[in-house]
A and B are shown apart, each in its own frame.
Chain A
Amino acid sequence: MAGNIKKLVLGFILLGAIGIAPRFLGIISLNMAVELAIGALFAVSLNLLLSYTGLLSFGHALFFGMGAYVMGISITYMDGITLIPAILMGSLAAGLTALIFTPLLVRVTGTAFSMLTMAFGQLMYVLCIKMRGITGGEDGLTLFDMPLLSVPGVFSLDMTDPATLYYTVMGVVLISIGCMWYFTKTPLGGVQAGIRDNAQRVEYLGFHVSASKAVIFIISGTFAGLAGCLAAIFQQVISVDGFLRINVSFMPIMAIMIGGLGHFLGPVIGTIFLMFLNQMAMRYTDKVELVFGIVFIMVVMYAPYGIHGLWVKARIYWGIFRHRKGALGKEERT
């Protein structure tokens, strides 16, 4: 209980910090915070698959891009559309894409799953380049007039104003991450964890494994699509390279691994770390991706459970140090 109260207090402090941040942050930092929040949402949606169902998707950009493109296309081609229906269309389109692919994807596991998702991601990448008429091909779509985020007669928000964008994105991201966290606590969330550890046993307990996987896949895809919509609103340009390339799929995987596989907020920590690393690397070298690659290899090799894993380990060692003063220090278990 004491732990819960501590967490609650910490949460409120964090919420407060997010709330008053725009008063102290400059526009650059504010934009960074927005980017970070979007990246975190994307990574958490992927984590639902990776940490909670044991499925490594190499093609999550598919849903991210789907959300962004459908939103962008509806804004570009439908006159007078406001942002809320456009975002809804984007996210639902991403969910629908997931639904279309599930009959195939639930039949494979392990490496085959990773390869299949990667291949579908590439398919969408190539298709988007080829369908120049709708998607703008390699040039992408530029959202010149960003519609208002409004409910007529109730409120109306202008997304080109940095502070408004910041609050909106933060709100949407926090609520979405909250929803996904809640999901992991529901019975279906429990079934997911079972599938991750031992799908066969779950099936023998009377759960329809494929159907359960399909549901989580759709939920994950929808939230990835939502992240894509937010990213499109933020960047105002939707390009194949920024939204559908394989690197876009790799980013959240890196965030999860660095933050800590198996931990709900791991990807958030990882995204923050990557952002920070990016800033540092850019200051000293122009080989940012090289630095990313090396850090990533180090993490997989020496800290497979990421920052969270290191933290847990450190606490164990600290405990041993305090209680036994080095007498029996070898029996650590992770």
Chain B
Amino acid sequence: MNPATAMYIIQALHGLAYGMLLFLVASGLTLIFGMVGILNMAHASLFMLSAYLCYQVLAFTNSFWMSLFLAPLITACLGLLLERFFLRKVQAHGLGHIAELLLTMGISMVIAESVKSIWGTESLVISIPPSLDGLASFAGIHYPIYRLFIIGLSFCILALLVTVLYKTKLGKIIRATASDPGMVSILGINTPKVFAGVFALGAWMAGVAGVAAAPMLTVFPGLADQVGMDAFVVVVVGGLGSLLGAFVVSLTLGELNSFGVQFIPKLAPVLVFGFMAIVLSLKPNGFFGEGDH
């Protein structure tokens, strides 16, 4: 194959891998927002925490698969605790979403600082598991297996999410709760439990993304800010609460990042925000947003 074409394909795959990771983080964020109207500022911190947990589990068990199983699970439990003992408590204050935004902001600060004191400020090296190491070759292109694994894993989770949301009774309840929580609770469904479940699900997906990202990105205390910023851009540009928007924009951002770094490395970070500024000047509530909450 023509080397230029191969380069384009490789860049596109890089973009896809990052975009899908971003989607795993952003989808939880936007799902929670759609349901409870809370934008969880600590979401990216959970993602980062899971990357660190991955490191810790690896250190104990030496098995990547074990950490892929355990770390997101712990993260999901933390998400559950967060919802139950913190977020639910401030909802009665009558400050609207300001209290929730601020609370999650405070929690993200605490997580960032705790991570620093437990694991230090140096970046950690997490090696790719041997079974996923190396390059895959197809049509004259050599591409890291691990990144293909990330793409595959993310699509599996996406499929799982879509099945749960659109094919199961639980999904129906979740979607109904998102559009009219009062009505659903009148019908005798325990909405706080549904909220908590969605919160845990979102945290779990962020956790999976954290483990998957750990060998690919650098694990350091600024990881949450770095990925979190992109995830926020995704959610805002895609339209707060829109899963489809999150998917489309995640992939767009992934590609923008990947090709931006390749062709205009100096402006790559600006590109993301420039993209956002342009979209929002045309549609202030994002691509698929429905007006204000």
Partner-B contacts on A (CB < 8 A): 50, 56, 103-104, 107-112, 114-116, 118-120, 122-123, 126-127, 129-130, 246, 250, 253, 257, 261, 287, 289-290, 292-294, 296-297, 300-301, 304
Contacts and interface: CB of A to CB of B under 8 A. Distances in A.
Contacts of B292: 108-110, 112
B103 A297 contact: yes
B233 interface: yes
Contact of A290 (B105, B114, B235, B267): B114
B39 interface: yes
Interface residues on B, range: 35 or more
Given A115-B236, A297-B86, A104 B284 contact: yes
A289 B109 contact: yes
Interface of B: 33, 37, 39, 86, 89-90, 93, 95-99, 101-103, 105-107, 109-110, 112-114, 117, 225, 229, 232-233, 235-236, 240, 266-267, 269-270, 273-274, 276-277, 280-281, 284-286, 289, 292-293
A290 B109 CA distance: 7
Given A123-B274, A130-B269, 20 more contacts: A50-B98, A56-B101, A104-B281, A111-B37, A112-B286, A115-B235, A116-B280, A116-B284, A118-B232, A119-B232, A129-B269, A253-B105, A293-B107, A293-B109, A296-B102, A296-B109, A300-B90, A300-B102, A301-B89, A304-B99
B102 A287 contact: no
A111 B273 contact: no
Contacts of A126: 269-270, 273
**Chain B interface SS verdict (over half):** helix
8 contacts: A50-B98, A112-B240, A123-B277, A257-B102, A296-B109, A301-B86, A301-B103, A304-B99
A250 B99 CA distance: 14
A120 B236 contact: no
A108 B110 CA distance: 29
A47 B86 CA distance: 25
B39 A123 contact: no
Contacts of B99: 300, 304
A297 B107 contact: yes
Contact of A111 (B39, B233, B266, B270): B39
